[in-house]
Amino acid sequence: MKIVGLAGRPGSGKSAVACALATDPAVVWIDLDQVAWEAYAAGTETFHRVVDRFGEEVVGDDGEIDRGELAVRVFLDADAKSDLEAIVHAAIVVRLKALCTAHRERGTQVLLVEGALLTRSPHVDRSIFDAILWLDVPDAVREERLGAEGRADHAARGDDVLPGSDAVVIDGDGTVDEVAERIRAKMAEL
């Protein structure tokens, strides 16, 4: 089984391209945002660690972590952001390793793992991956894409997210199909 990470800054097209690639019968897509939300679902150890660190105020009326409230607390405080990443990213890696084992046992051919912070987080075990692909997109294109989705404010969030030395840079400019084809070609080389 090939395990391929897909990373990039907000608006790089990660989710759209991953969705397109997941239509290939050999490819299974894992969205690490979804894995993160599951990792700190109510009642989990990670949930309790987040609440212990950030207070009961981050728990919404539904009993789950209120991601908006949590974001307010961490994006204005570098230490808080670092603490949150240490708690959540470690839990994500544990879950990801379990998912990799399960998919290997199922006979999955390619496991595509989409996550914005795969190249940046010190808590990610990059040895899991056969390759981490980085979608490189000009800032103007990213801003246009995010604006079209009503998320223009997300463009600056990725300023500190870089590909790192171990990522394979892929041109992410163009249509979803064009970018997906570039990634298919790179995965075939692995």
Residue 158: what pLDDT? 66
Cα angle 99, 101, 102 (rounded to 5 degrees) comes to: 65
Over residues 126-137, mean pLDDT:
94
Mean pLDDT of 173-187: 95
Asked if pLDDT for residue 60 goes beyond 70, the answer is yes
The burial of 144, by beta-carbon neighbours within 10 Å (0-12 exposed, 13-18 middle, 19 or more buried), is given as middle
- pLDDT of 159: 67
Statement: residue 114 has pLDDT above 90: yes
Degrees (nearest 5) of the Cα angle 184, 187, 189? 115
Count of CB atoms within 10 A of residue 111's CB? 24
- The alpha-helical segments, DSSP class H, found in the chain are 14-21, 32-39, 45-54, 67-75, 78-106, 139-148, 176-189
- Phi, psi dihedrals of residue 26, rounded to the nearest 5°: -85, -10
Mean local confidence (pLDDT), 38-43: 92
Put simply, whether the predicted model's pTM sits higher than 0.85 gets the answer: yes
Q: Kindly report the CATH class assigned to 2-34+90-189.
A: alpha beta
pLDDT band, residue 164 (cuts 50/70/90): confident
Based on DSSP, count helices (H) and strands (E) in the chain, helices before strands: 7, 5
Give residue 79's pLDDT: 94
Give domain limits for the chain.
2-34+90-189
Hey, how many other C-beta atoms are within 10 angstroms of the C-beta on 162?
A: 13
